[in-house]
Amino acid sequence: METKINSKALKAEALRLGFSACGIAPAEPIDQAHQNALKMWLDADRQAGMTYMANHFDKRCDPALLVEGTRCVVSVALNYYPATRIPDEEYQFAWYAYGKDYHDLMREKLATLFRFIQESDVPELNGRMFCDTAPVPERYWAWRAGLGWIGKNTQLIIPHAGSTFFLGELFLNTEADTYDRPQPNRCGRCNRCLQACPTKALETPYSLNAHRCLSYLTIENKSEIPDSIAPFMGNRVYGCDECQKACPWNRFATPCRTPELQPSPEFMNMKKEDWKQLSEEKYRALFKGSAVKRAKYSGLIRNIRQMED
C-alpha cells in the first residue's frame, strides 16, 4: 500500500516552523473559471511590463505539467504584518520589504518542512518548493488548500488574520491522507479596497491593472513613472499597501514576530533628507539581503526624485 502524507503531522510541523497557516490540495488542473479569468486578464494586457506572466500558461494551470508526477500541493503562509511602521510623514516602503528577503526565508522553511515529511512519512518523497519563483498561481493554491479566499484587491485573505502573508508551496509526488476544502469568499458588498486605491488600478473587483498600480510602477517597472500617475504617489517610494490598509479583515492582523522579517533600526531611522542623499554604497549596505534590491538603486532613486518634481 502506498504511504500517504500524514496531513495532521505536516500541519503541526509547519506551525512549529513559524508558518501562520498550512493546507493541502490535490494536484488537479486549476478550475476553468480561474483559467478563463487569467486568460482574459492577460489578453487585456493588464500585466503591463510583467511579460513573464504570459509564459508557460499550460504549466501555470496544471501542477503536473510544471513538475511531473505531482499529486498534491502543500500551501503555506507566513505573516509579515509590521509591529512598527515608518512614520506617515517619511517616505513609505511596502510592509513586506521591511525585513530580509522573504524568498530566502521561505525557501529555508519549506526545505525543512520537506525533509520532515520525507523522514517521518515518505522516504521516497520527491518534489519541488516554490515561493514567487515559478509560474505558480500561489493565491489560487492557497485558496484551493483552504487557507482563505482571494479578495477583491486580488490578495489572499485569511479569515480573522488578514492579507499580510507571504505564500509558498510544495509540489509533491505523493498523496495526502486528507485534503482541505476551499473557503467561501467573504468580501460581501465591501469595496473599500477599490475606493482606497490611489490610482484606481483596481478597475473592477478581483482585477488589477498593473499599468496603474503603484506597486508595479515603483518596483517592477523599468521606465519612468507616467506623468498621469506620479501625482498620486504621495510618499510611496517602494510599493503600496493602501488596498490592504483599507481591508476590514486586516483589523485582525497580528504583528509579525519572525526575527528575519524585523526592520533594522538604521532603516527605520532614515529620514527624507537621508533618502535624497542616498549613495549606491549606502543603498547596498542598507538593503543587503533585502527584497528592495528588486527595484535596484536606479529604480529607488528614480522614485525618490519623483517626490521632488
Q: Over the stretch 107-134, which tens digit does the pLDDT of each residue have?
A: 999 999 999 999 987 888 899 999 998 9
Same domain membership, residue 111 and residue 12:
yes
Please report whether residue 183 resides in a domain.
Answer: no
Q: Cα dist. 176→69, 117, 144, 159, 273 in Å? A: 14, 11, 14, 24, 54
Q: Is pLDDT above 80 for 1?
A: no
Asked if residues 150 and 156 have their Cβ atoms less than 8 Å apart, the reply is yes
* pLDDT band at 228; cut points 50, 70, 90: very high
* Residue numbers of the domain that contains 127: 7-82+101-172
Same domain membership, residue 153 and residue 53:
yes
Asked if residues 175 and 5 have their Cβ atoms less than 8 Å apart, the reply is yes
Please report whether residue 196 resides in a domain.
Answer: yes
- Please write the tens of the pLDDT for every residue from 212-225: 999 999 999 999 99
Same domain membership, residue 157 and residue 232:
no
Query: Beta 236-238 vs 92-93: how paired, if at all?
Result: parallel
Q: Is pLDDT above 70 for 19?
A: yes
Catalytic, out of 62, 132, 177, 274: 132
Q: Any idea what the Cα angle at residue 232 is, between residues 205 and 211, rounded to 5°?
A: 50
Please report whether residue 90 resides in a domain.
Answer: no
Q: Is pLDDT above 90 for 178?
A: yes
- Please write the tens of the pLDDT for every residue from 231-275: 999 999 999 999 999 999 999 999 999 999 999 999 999 999 999
**Number of folded domains in the chain?**
2
- DSSP letter string, 107-171: HHHHHHHHHHHHHHT-TT--EEEESSSSS--HHHHHHHTTS-EE-TTSSEEBTTTBS-EEEEEEE
Q: How far apart are CA 70 and CA 27, in angstroms?
A: 6
Same domain membership, residue 295 and residue 148:
no
> What does the radius of gyration of the chain's CA atoms come to, in whole angstroms?
20
Which secondary structure element, helix H or strand E, spans residue 23, and what is its range? strand 21-26
Maximal CA-CA distance, the chain: 68
Q: Is 274 a catalytic residue?
A: no
pTM: 0.96
Q: What percent of the chain stands above pLDDT 90?
A: 95
Helix/strand/coil for 54: helix
From 42, 16, 212, 45, select the one nearest 116 (Cα to Cα): 16
CA 43, chain centre distance (Å): 23
Query: Beta 207-208 vs 127-130: how paired, if at all?
Result: unpaired
Residue 93 DSSP label: E
Residue 179 DSSP label: -
